[in-house]
Amino acid sequence: MADQSYVIDRMISAKSIAARIEALAVEIKSEFAGTERLIVVGLLRGSFVFIADLVRELDMNVEVDFVETSSYGNDMTSSREVRILKDLRGEIEGRDVLVVEDIVDTGHTLTHVLHLLESRHPAKLRTIALLDKPSRREVDIRADWTGFEIPDEFVVGYGIDYAQANRNLPYIGKVCFTNT
């Protein structure tokens, strides 16, 4: 399917994303006021652009770590089987943790990662997602903060890919397949 032709229609501009991240950072700083060092955990690979911009807006001491999961591969739909490909390097027991996700779709990945992290007994565990597709949810989960709620469209850009392409787009775009 990755060989199929498509065009990308802009949905969310780079300017809108930057403004929303700035507003979210204010709320996060308030939630974690008094935290000695916030551990920001990005879910690779889609969150890497979002996490970079978000931590630059957080005027506080942060430590960044990553978990890499797989449930999509090169497909457009989740397999619903979440595998951990890379685990955290550091300990989170007794620490404040913010999990950064690019998009909450079915909810399986975020649920799996939160169960894993909760078992390590962080002091506080919160979540933020750049995008949320509630119409696709299969498990009862919602991020504590959301950048944008979007319809059930396949999107790329701002770190989110389709078969490893289009992560470098500075905006979020809808993938529209063409008949060739």
Q: Which residues are catalytic?
A: 105
How many Å apart are CA 82 and CA 62, to the nearest integer?
27
Q: How many residues are present in the chain?
A: 180
Please tell me whether the peptide bond between 83 and the residue prior to it is cis, using omega within 30 degrees of 0. Answer: no
- For residue 31, give every residue at least 6 positions away whose Cβ sits within 8 Å of its Cβ, in sequence order, or none: 126, 144
Query: Which amino acid type is present at position 6?
Result: Y
Q: How far is CA 101 from CA 9, 21, 78, 126, 146, in A?
A: 22, 13, 15, 11, 10
Q: Are strands 83-86 and 6-12 parallel, antiparallel or unpaired?
A: unpaired
